[in-house]
Chains A and B, each alone.
Chain A
Amino acid sequence: MKRKTLLQLIKTKSQEVEIKDLSQSILDKVRLLPQAEVITAPKKRFSYKPVFAMTLSVMTATLAFFIFYQPGSTQVPIIEDVNQVMAVSLVSAASLVDYTDETIADNDSVNMALGYFTLDVAEQPLIDNEIDTVSQYLGMMERLLNSDENFDYEFDTTDPNGFAHHLSFKTKDLLDQETNYTFNYNQINVAKDNLYTIEGSLIIGDQTYTITGQGDIKNPKIFQLRILSDEHNYIDIKYEISSLVNRYQINVTENDMLIQTANLAVKQENNQRSVYLDFVSGNATGSYMFQVENIIGQGKQMKISYYISKTTSESGQIEVQVDQTGADARYTITVEPKGREPFVVERGRGTNDTNGRPGKGGSGV
């Protein structure tokens, strides 16, 4: 028998075997499976202006300053009504927690209705539009959540280098790597207007940033720091502070336009530090609660609960791991919107080329 004939015979005979149509049975089995995690490549690359990256990175340091800022003069702000600040702060924080809990409960019922399997989710999850903005804050959150409570700060007024006040402190990121900061500043009181101003420079690694600030001597709520990239690009932070809650409003101005406003609060409860980030305007509108968990064998991870409300609402969880493989550390961000398929995005962490400066979390990849 010729080779060609033999091969054709095998082919022909193989096709004579009846093979059942099992397709429906297979699909029935697949639909009974727990929903598998879907890993998809990021749909878009995020790249924001370097100037914005810089100011965001510096914002961490300024926030750190705020957290333990204790003016040494009797003329500097003191909190006149602690109860008021505490009440407003607690209501704000509690509202954020309620949002998350309520939404989790709501979506649990949705999940039960859908069963294990969700098909044809036509619309993108709301988080898809916010994850880039949120990722900008990851470097800051690493440090706010993982640093010592008082940032190991040292306050010194004896160094005569042109500034009356010298504040040194350090932060720790998720990898427990430390970043040292030095904030040198002068404070000028304008007694007749009950105002004071701060002018100084913040040194992080080999970089120096200009900081200005002003506030009402009697009313700490209007105190404000401005971190200048240049006269057209800056970040303003207003703050309220008490022994129980620290809350800040962050305004990001780019090319003289206010592009983002967010409220931020730090809360320590049952030995668990949480940072609440609530976007008020700009590209993002969601509320986010950040925490750090130390997972045995995996190191420290950031856990984020979120709630976004637009015409529809959505909540979910986000896990952030620092991936150290390769030349640059990166964030691996697993996003799990409730009732939808999880997805993973990666973002540059930007700590390897900053000479000790804090990460530009979320810089483009």
Chain B
Amino acid sequence: MDNIHVIIEELKKRDYSSFDTFYDLTKNQVFYAIINIIKDHSLAEDLMQDTYVKFLEKINDYKSNSNPYAYLSTIGRNLAINMYNKRKREIVSEEIFETIAAPEVEEPNDEIFKILDLLDPIEKEIVTLHVINDLKFREIAPIVDKPLGTVLWIYNKAIKKLRERADDFI
């Protein structure tokens, strides 16, 4: 954890020599914060880039004692939600005018998504943020804008659901 904070301090000084390390340390968190909302793998990668660009652009807003994984997850999630809403509007618009086919979505084919797809969107997100992104529940609560108790309840419900359906993905 200390290492990433050292790198962030360097990034604040516009020293990008360790950015690849920073990216390696955080890319999973950013990717999964996005991919659960935008299922398109290549679009998720575009949004990953936007997430890091935004992070670096506003890096002086980042408080040194914050959790960078939660911070990046929040940026990625917000960008993904914006993109999701934008695409939803585009698709609706296209359906109305019937001029352009709806864009095809490249569904991720990895096993992890088969597991996560057994869950509701909010369950999927909370499980992802906690299990994959290693965020604490109190860090997840503000991200998903739900009380801590609700987050815990949804998480336990989701894990119970996965355990019950383990045969589907083993």
Contact = CB atoms under 8 A, between A and B. Distances in A.
Contacts of B115: 9-10, 13
B165 to A, nearest CB: 9
B53 A3 contact: no
A27 B18 CA distance: 11
Contacts of B137: none
B45 A20 contact: yes
B121 interface: no
Interface string A1-20: 10100110111011111011
Interface in A5-55: 6-7, 9-11, 13-17, 19-27, 29-30, 33, 36, 38-39
A6 B166 contact: yes
Contacts of B48: 19, 22
B19 A26 contact: yes
A10 B124 CA distance: 11
A21 B45 CA distance: 10
B160 to A, nearest CB: 9
A30 B166 contact: no
Contacts of A36: 57-58, 60
Given A10-B132, A14-B112, A21 B20 contact: yes
A15 B23 contact: no
Most buried by B among A7, A23, A26, A119: A26
B131 A7 contact: yes
Nearest to B111: A13
A120 interface: yes
A212 to B, nearest CB: 51
Contact-residue bracket for chain B: 35 or more
B85 to A, nearest CB: 23
A120 B23 contact: no
B6 interface: no
A6 B14 contact: no
B45 A16 contact: no
Interface in A88-121: 117-120
Contact of A3 (B31, B52, B111, B159): B159
B53 A30 contact: yes
Contact of B57 (A25, A33, A119): A33
B110 to A, nearest CB: 5
A21 B27 CA distance: 9
B14 A14 contact: no
Interface string B46-89: 00110011001110100000000000000000000000000000
A6 B163 contact: yes
Interface in B1-44: 14-16, 19-20, 22-24, 27-28, 31-32
B32 A29 contact: no
A16 B52 CA distance: 22
Contacts of A26: 19, 23, 49, 52-53, 56
B159 A14 contact: no
Nearest to B16: A27
A11 B132 contact: yes
Contacts of B126: none
Nearest to A16: B110
A38 B131 contact: no
B110 A11 contact: no
B142 interface: no
A16 B53 contact: no
Interface of B: 14-16, 19-20, 22-24, 27-28, 31-32, 45, 48-49, 52-53, 56-58, 60, 108, 110-112, 115-116, 127-128, 131-132, 159, 162-163, 166, 170
17 contacts: A10-B127, A10-B132, A13-B112, A14-B132, A17-B108, A20-B45, A23-B24, A23-B52, A25-B49, A26-B23, A26-B49, A26-B53, A26-B56, A27-B19, A33-B53, A117-B14, A120-B15
